[in-house]
Amino acid sequence: MNRPTGRRLTAVALTVVALAATTTACSSGGDSSAKGGSGTFTVWDPYPQFTAGSAWAKLLDGCGTEAGVKIKRTAFDTSDLANKALLAAQQNNSPDVLIVDNPVVLTLAEAGVLTTTADNKLDTSKADPNLLAAGQTGGKTYGTPIGANTLALYYNKGVLKKAGVDISSVKDWKSLTAALAKAKAAGKKGITFSAIGTEEGSFQFLPWFWGAGANLTELDSAQGVSALSLWKDWLGSGYAPNSVLNNTQTTSWQEFATGDYAFAENGTWQLANAGKAGFDYGVLPIPGATGGTAAAPTGGEFVTVPVQGDTGRYATSRKLVSCLTSTQNLLATDTTLSYVAPTAAVQDKQVASDAKLKPWVEAVKAAKGRTSDDLGTKYPKISEQMWKAVQSALSGAASPKDALKSAQAAVK
């Protein structure tokens, strides 16, 4: 994916939470002279790299034609879009359709910016429940996913061959650690990842945290401590470099691209770069502590319908969203966005057309929204304390147990 998850992750969420408290419900948006289902409908999205004439822009125009309206599209950088949406709501000028990073959905919902699917009558029955959960709270659903990305382990086949590692033997933490030890013994490096003190660090730690059976409401559980201890032990044994403390997902990938590492934790957005790496690679879903596939956090956007003063507009907004997320259009859309589709039917089509997507589909099926479990706007604070704990433990400032104990106390 050309747009690293680091940009998709919501550093903006912290700012949005602060602004959300002062946001009021919005009224009419789009073309103020248009009533109900006619005139011009506005769409805001986080894809400024897709200009007029691109496949994405043409899809939006086509959905507008199908719904009998003209589309006025505005693209923002992800870091700006949520705040722009809040300001527009305050000014009673929200777009008709808003495509926004999934962790921000519930923040906007809590601020009164978004309608529920009960309000706008959007059918979300085909979306995978684990992906849809990122936009659900209190029994209500706000929008539908347009696509997802997540994390898995890339591995260098040449390094593993030299180390005498059969990738089929890597099924849990114990066997993964054994593979890292063999890679080091063979004169190579083990694994690289991002543990930077930002949302990217939390994003990369979550598969291990969840894979241990831990829950974000209890950061200092024994399971959470075991996950952080795993990373700490890898650094202590020389299986992972100290550079992970400052690595973004991009710099972590650059380390893997040197060809010296056995494994790298990264996402679907690196597939194009993987093809240019100059060595044979494979992809393995991140294993859970005792086996199976760990839940990794989902990246990707939701298509939502903001609150409008003219509720007659919702019927046309629903048509636009349904068009954008239809089985026919999702395949082209998610290929353009380098996403795994949010529905099983389209996922099957993706794998049929590109077998390399199979492990990513498996990872997405096991993935979990960061704001799931009814965390909603609590997530940014929890995440901040999590990445601080990771930094503290890996730098040696505190033990994994004490670092997470302090994190949990700060959250409370």
- The sign of the CA dihedral 106, 46, 337, 113 is positive
Is 100 in a helix, a strand, or coil?
Answer: strand
Residues 6+ apart with CB under 8 A from 345: 126, 327
User: Which pTM was predicted?
Assistant: 0.83
Contact 249, 200 (CB under 8 A): yes
Give pLDDT tens digits for 203-229: 999 999 999 999 999 999 999 999 999
29: pLDDT confidence band, cut at 50, 70 and 90? Answer: very low
Give every strand in the sheet of 144-145, ordered side by side.
70-75, 40-45, 97-101, 301-304, 144-145
Give pLDDT tens digits for 43-97: 999 999 899 999 999 999 999 999 999 999 999 988 789 999 999 999 999 999 9
What span, in angstroms and rounded, lies between the C-alpha atoms of 339 and 334?
5
Tell me, what's the pLDDT at 4?
A: 38
Is 266 in a helix, a strand, or coil?
Answer: strand
Q: Which domains does the chain carry?
A: 5-148+299-366 (3.40.190.10), 151-296+375-411 (3.40.190.10)
Q: What does the buried/exposed string (b/e) look like for 119-140 if buried means 16 or more CB atoms within 10 Å of the residue's CB?
A: ebebebebbbebbbbbbbbeee
Strands 97-101 and 189-192, bridge-based pairing: unpaired
Q: What does the buried/exposed string (b/e) look like for 201-221 if buried means 16 or more CB atoms within 10 Å of the residue's CB?
A: bbbbbbbbbbbbbbebeebbb
Give pLDDT tens digits for 262-311: 999 999 889 889 999 999 999 999 999 999 999 999 999 999 999 999 99
